[in-house]
Amino acid sequence: MIIETHDLTKTYGNKTACSSINLSVQEGHIYGFLGRNGAGKSTCIKMLTGLVHPTSGSGTVLGKPLGNVSIRAKMGYLPELFRYQDWMTGLDLLNFHSNLIKLKNKEDQIKRVLKLVGLEGQEKYKVGSFSKGMQQRIGLACALLPNPKLLFLDEPTSALDPIGRKDVRDIIVQLKNEGTTVFLNSHLLSEVEAVCDYVTFINKGTVLLSAPIEELLTSKIQLSIKAEHVSENLFETLKGKYDTFHRVEDGSFLVDLKEREEITDIASAFFSDGSLLYELVPQKETLESVFLKLVGEPIKKK
């Protein structure tokens, strides 16, 4: 495991930011870390990057204990509240960070990361004159400078437009293909869903669920059925067979299925009953629906 933590806890006075966090991140994975604002995600990342000292618990990153300095040469980190020396040009900033990590082939590497984040030709301008999106891109370039084995991205697309977001998604996938492990903290669930192999949900500093994303999204199928003249007998039969079968407010029915094959059984039952079947729509579980079930309720429409 490239990251492993055991009961990692951080408290600030009476406030617990993270409580008994146990993580196991496999090398080469894109690991999504999800939770509401203030759930403790950034604190956890800061403990993993050595910026915050855990109150209790232990862990290893790249095989070394938390806080080890030498591993940071193989690690990249894009902070949530990215801020860089705005009096420097983009090139100065990358040179400065190259010197901090004692990069040998810095000129080639700087060119490579500038191209990767789409800032080629912009490097001679001052960071202070960059737009927020460009600043986030230059931050990502800094994080990518050491060719990291492990990359921490804390809200990497918060300041980017849709094209920029797609660019970052592509970069993440490219990094994965090159063998980099990415620890991704993002509120954009569609983004996480698109790229992550594994996700952990955290709320109020506690891990709620950790699972491979495939398992989460394909573990069940929710079927929406629109039909009329459904007999009481059919309703009771289906209710008996499927615990989750129920009628919703608009008169349609919902049922959770374990396998796709069950859809045909249900369709047959409606035809046999003589009901008028208008729609049979399997609704795929999304990360958003899992997230909302786990960490909060959606805002109810009035």
Partner 1 sequence: MPADQFRPFAIQMVTKIGLQFSSTLIALLTIMLGSGTVASELENGLIHGILSRPIYRYQYILGKLFGLTIITSIYATVLYSAVLLIGAFYELNTITSLSFTQIAQGWFLYLLQPIAVLCITMYGSVSLKTVPNGILIIFIYILGSVGGMVEMMGLYLNNNSVIGTGIFVSLISPIQVIYSTMERVLLANSQMVSNFMPGASLSGSGKPASDWMFVYIGIYMLVFVILSVYKFSHKDIS
Sign of CA dihedral 225, 192, 167, 157: positive
Q: How far is the CB of 235 from partner 1 (least distance, A)?
A: 55
Element containing residue 8 per DSSP (H, E):
strand 3-12
Cβ nearer to partner 1, comparing 147 with 222: 147
Q: How far apart are CA 23 and CA 56, in angstroms?
A: 15
Residue with Cβ nearer partner 1 (73 or 280): 73
Distance of closest approach, residue 227 Cβ to partner 1, in angstroms:
55
**What does the alpha-carbon distance between residue 187 and residue 158 come to, in Å, rounded to a whole number?**
8
Q: How far is the CB of 51 from partner 1 (least distance, A)?
A: 4
Q: For the chain, where are the alpha helices, taking DSSP H only?
A: 41-49, 90-100, 106-117, 132-144, 162-177, 189-195, 213-218, 232-241, 262-273, 287-295
Nearer residue to partner 1 within complex by CB, 79 or 90: 79
CB 290 → partner 1: shortest distance, Å?
29
Distance CA(41)–CA(30), nearest Å, equals 16
The string of DSSP letters for 70-125 reads: GGGGGEEEE-TT----TTSBHHHHHHHHHHHTT-SSHHHHHHHHHHHHT-TT-TTS
Query: What is the closest distance, in whole angstroms, from the C-beta atom of residue 285 to partner 1 in the complex?
Result: 35
CB nearer to partner 1: give 139 or 156: 139
Nearer to partner 1, 101 or 290 (CB): 101
- Contact positions toward partner 1, by CB under 8 A? 12, 43, 46, 49-53, 69-73, 75, 77, 79, 81-85, 97, 100-102, 139, 142, 152
